[in-house]
Amino acid sequence: MTRRLTPDICVIGAGSGGLTVAAAAAAFGVDVVLIEKGRMGGDCLNYGCVPSKAMIAAGKHARAIAEAPDFGVSAGAVKVDFRKVHDHVHSVIAAIAPNDSVERFRALGVTVIEAEGRFTDRRTVVAGDFEIAARRFVIATGSSAFVPPIPGLDSVDYLTNETLFERTSAPRHLIVIGGGPIGMEMAQAHRRLGAEVTVIEGERALGKDDPELTAIVLDQIRAEGVTLIEGAKVTGVEKQGASGVRVCWESENDKGQVDGSDILVATGRSANVEGLGLDKAGIKYDRRGVTVGANLRSSNSRVYAIGDVAGSLQFTHVAGYHAGLVVQQILFRLPAKENRDIIPWATFTSPELAHVGLAEADARKRHGDRISILRWPYAENDRAQAERQTTGLIKMVVDRKARIIGVTIVGAGASEMINMWALAITNGLKLGDVRGYVPPYPTMSEIGKRAAISYYGPVTRKPLVRTLVRWLRIFG
Ligand SMILES: Cc1cc2nc3c(=O)[nH]c(=O)nc-3n(C[C@H](O)[C@H](O)[C@H](O)COP(=O)(O)OP(=O)(O)OC[C@H]3O[C@@H](n4cnc5c(N)ncnc54)[C@H](O)[C@@H]3O)c2cc1C
Ligand SMILES: NC(=O)c1ccc[n+]([C@@H]2O[C@H](COP(=O)([O-])OP(=O)(O)OC[C@H]3O[C@@H](n4cnc5c(N)ncnc54)[C@H](O)[C@@H]3O)[C@@H](O)[C@H]2O)c1
C-alpha cells in the first residue's frame, strides 16, 4: 500500500549535496524526506574522492620509500601488496561511512527512504511504497562516468570510477582514456603502486587549469614513468590475446596503438537525470544536467538542483556550497546566488595543483592588460629545500587596485595552502592586507607572502622614495 508523506523538503540523492541539505534542514527542526537508491554518501564516499585519495596516499608511501635514500634513510626495495592497498582504501571508506549512514540521518530526525525516486507530476515524487508531496524538492542525484561511444569498448571489461577500487591486484598495464583530474590522479597513483600506465588524452591533460602550472605536474608524472599521449582521440578498442586489450588512437599528424591489460575510462561525467520523470514535473534539463539559474532553482519553482546534477563545477565542496544556498532560500526565504569565482579546487597529484579565482587567461579576458602577475618559486623557500620539495610555484593575479583575483599553486601542500587564498578572494582582500600578516618560519605558505610583497619591489627603487628615506634620517 502506498503511503503519502507531506514533508517540508524532499531531497533526492544522499551524496555530498543531498546529505548536507537534509542535515541542515533537520538541525532547524524541519520535516525532511531523503531518498537514496544506492549507497549513502554517494560518489564522493564510495567511488570518488575518498577511495581515490586513500589510494593516492598509498602511492605516496611507496614513493617516499623510493626517495628515502636522498635523505640518508634506506628501507630497501619497495614492495606493494595490492590486496592490502584495496583493504586500506575500503577501511578508510568504512571509517567515514557512519557519518553518512541511514542510522545517523534517522537519528537526526530525517525520514530516509532507500529506493529510487522519480517525479510523477509537478509536486509529487514516488519512491518505493511512498508518495511524497513536499513544499520544496531538491534534486541532488549527482553524475556518473560518461562513457564515449568508442568502437569496440563494449567488447572489453573496462573500468570506471565505480569499479576501479574493487581491484585486489595491480593492473599490469593500465591504459587510462582521459587525462582530466580522475585520469591523472589515478595514473600517478597506479604507477607508484607498480603498474605500467599509459594515458591517452584527446586534448590537453588537466586542460581546465593554467597550462604554465600544469606543465610542472605533467613533467613530474612523466618522469615517474607514466606515458602520456596528448591531442590523441581514441578510435577503437579490441581484445588482445586471452586477457589483454589494445587501444588505437589518432592525433592530427600521427596514429598508434597501445597494448595493455586494463582500461580506465575517465572521460568526464554525465549528469544523473535519466529516469527522474523531469518532463512530468516541468523541469528543464539538457546534457549537462538540470537547467538552473544562479539561485539553483529549476524551471519548476518548487524544485532546486544542486551538486553535479546542476551542471556547475563538479566538486564535493561545490555540492556542499550549493546545499547552503538552497537551505538559505527554502528555510529563510533569503535570496542566494552561486558565485563560481570564489570556488577553489585541487588536484591531488604530486606535485599538487590548486586554484581559486581567475586564471591568467580568464583575467585577461575580463580585465584586459590591467592586471599584474606575481610569482614565487618553491625553490626559494627554506622549508621546501629542507623537505626536498622544491618543484613548484605560486602564481597570483591581481587587478589594477591590487585586489587579489586569482591564485594558482603547484607544489607540495598546494591543496592546503589554497585555503588562505580562497578566504582572501571571497573577502575581496588586497595585497596590502597580506603584506601585514606574519607567516611562521619555516613554512611553505611563506611563498604566498613573498609573491605578494614582490609587488612592492619596484617601489623600493623609486628615486622619490629613496630620497624620502634619506631625508627622514635627518630627524635622528
Ligand atoms: C574518482 C573521483 C574522484 C573525485 N575526487 C574529488 C575530490 O578529490 N574532491 C572533490 O571535491 N570532488 C571530487 N570528485 C567529485 C565528487 O565526487 C562529486 O562532485 C560529488 O560527489 C558530487 O556530489 P553530489 O551530491 O552532487 O552527487 P553524488 O555524491 O554522486 O550523490 C548522488 C546520489 O544520488 C543518488 N541517486 C541518483 N539518482 C537517484 C534517484 N533517482 N533516486 C534516489 N537516489 C538517486 C545516487 O545513488 C548518489 O548516491 C571526485 C569524483 C570522482 C569520480
Ligand atoms: N581532485 C579533485 O577535486 C577531483 C578529482 C577527480 C575528479 N574530480 C571531478 O570529477 C570531474 C570528472 O573528472 P574527469 O577527469 O573524468 O573529467 P574531465 O572532464 O575533467 O576530464 C576528462 C578528460 O577526458 C578527455 N577525453 C574525453 N573524451 C576523450 C576521448 N574519447 N579520448 C581521449 N580523451 C578524451 C577530455 O579531453 C578531458 O581532458 C572533474 O571535472 C572534477 O570536477 C575532481
Rounded distance from Cα 38 to ligand 2 centre (Å): 23
With beta carbons less than 8 A apart as the criterion, state whether 36 and 112 touch: yes
User: Do 434 and 356 belong to one domain?
Assistant: yes
Q: Which residues neighbour 82 within 8 Å (Cβ) at sequence distance 6 or greater?
A: 167, 168, 169, 170, 193, 194
With beta carbons less than 8 A apart as the criterion, state whether 257 and 249 touch: yes
With beta carbons less than 8 A apart as the criterion, state whether 233 and 249 touch: yes
Terminal Cα distance for the chain, rounded: 92
pLDDT of residue 168: 98
User: Do 258 and 304 belong to one domain?
Assistant: no
pLDDT of residue 459: 84
- Distance (Å, whole) CA 339 – CA 295: 10
User: Do 244 and 314 belong to one domain?
Assistant: no
CATH number at residue 158: 3.50.50.60
Q: Would the CB of 182 count as within 6 Å of ligand 2? A: yes
pLDDT of residue 75: 86
- Distance (Å, whole) CA 51 – CA 428: 35
Q: Three-state DSSP class for 372?
A: strand
Rounded distance from Cα 228 to ligand 2 centre (Å): 15
141 is in an annotated binding site: yes
117 is in an annotated binding site: yes
pLDDT of residue 325: 98
pLDDT of residue 293: 97
User: Do 123 and 256 belong to one domain?
Assistant: no
C-alpha cell at 352: 599538487
Closest atom of ligand 1 to CA, residue 161 = 1
Q: Would the CB of 315 count as within 6 Å of ligand 1? A: yes
User: Do 137 and 159 belong to one domain?
Assistant: no
Ligand closest to the CA atom of residue 52: 1
Of 268, 287, 302, which one is at a domain's C-terminal end?
Answer: 268
User: Do 363 and 320 belong to one domain?
Assistant: no
pLDDT of residue 298: 98
Q: Would the CB of 140 count as within 6 Å of ligand 1? A: yes
Please check whether residue 378 lies inside any domain of the structure: yes
Ligand closest to the CA atom of residue 236: 2
Task: Return the number of other C-beta atoms located less than 10 Å from residue 397's C-beta.
Answer: 24
CA–CA distance from 342 to each of 73, 77, 334, 364, 365 (Å)?
Answer: 42, 44, 20, 18, 18
Q: Would the CB of 347 count as within 6 Å of ligand 2? A: yes
Residue showing cell 604554465: 212
User: Do 278 and 261 belong to one domain?
Assistant: no
pLDDT in tens, the chain (476 residues): 899 999 999 999 999 999 999 999 999 999 999 999 999 999 999 999 999 999 999 999 999 999 999 999 998 899 999 999 999 999 999 999 999 999 999 999 999 999 999 999 999 999 999 999 999 999 999 999 999 999 999 999 999 999 999 999 999 999 999 999 999 999 999 999 999 999 999 999 999 999 999 999 999 999 999 999 999 999 999 999 888 999 999 999 999 999 999 999 999 999 999 999 999 999 999 999 999 999 999 999 999 999 999 998 999 999 999 999 999 999 999 999 999 999 999 999 999 999 999 999 999 999 999 999 999 999 999 999 999 999 999 999 999 999 999 999 999 999 999 999 999 999 999 999 998 899 999 999 999 999 999 999 888 889 998 999 999 998 88
417 is in an annotated binding site: no
pLDDT of residue 458: 86
* pTM for the whole structure: 0.97
Rounded distance from Cα 360 to ligand 2 centre (Å): 21
C-alpha cell at 31: 520535516
Of 268, 292, 314, which one is at a domain's C-terminal end?
Answer: 268
Of 303, 321, 338, which one is at a domain's C-terminal end?
Answer: 338
User: Do 275 and 177 belong to one domain?
Assistant: no
User: Do 423 and 333 belong to one domain?
Assistant: no
324 is in an annotated binding site: no
Complex ipTM:
0.98
pLDDT of residue 239: 95
Please check whether residue 115 lies inside any domain of the structure: yes
Please check whether residue 220 lies inside any domain of the structure: yes
Residue closest to 203 by CA, chosen among 247, 161, 158, 252: 252
Ligand closest to the CA atom of residue 309: 1
With beta carbons less than 8 A apart as the criterion, state whether 81 and 62 touch: no
Q: Would the CB of 263 count as within 6 Å of ligand 2? A: no
Task: Return the number of other C-beta atoms located less than 10 Å from residue 399's C-beta.
Answer: 17
Closest atom of ligand 2 to CA, residue 345 = 3
Q: Would the CB of 183 count as within 6 Å of ligand 1? A: no
Q: Would the CB of 200 count as within 6 Å of ligand 2? A: yes
Please check whether residue 82 lies inside any domain of the structure: no
181 is in an annotated binding site: yes
Q: Would the CB of 181 count as within 6 Å of ligand 2? A: yes
143 is in an annotated binding site: yes
User: Do 248 and 379 belong to one domain?
Assistant: no
pLDDT of residue 457: 85
User: Do 302 and 346 belong to one domain?
Assistant: no
Closest atom of ligand 2 to CA, residue 161 = 16
Please check whether residue 45 lies inside any domain of the structure: no
Closest atom of ligand 1 to CA, residue 44 = 17
Question: What is the residue-wise DSSP string for 50-65?
Answer: HHHHHHHHHHHHHHHH
With beta carbons less than 8 A apart as the criterion, state whether 227 and 198 touch: yes
Residue among 182, 230, 272 whose CB has most ligand 2 atoms within 8 A, to mutate: 182
How many domains does the structure of the chain reveal? Answer: 3
CATH number at residue 404: 3.30.390.30
| Furthest C-alpha separation in the chain | 94
Residue showing cell 589515478: 186
Ligand closest to the CA atom of residue 263: 2
Look up the domain containing 445 and give its range: 342-461
Ligand closest to the CA atom of residue 100: 1
User: Do 187 and 197 belong to one domain?
Assistant: yes
Rounded distance from Cα 45 to ligand 1 centre (Å): 8
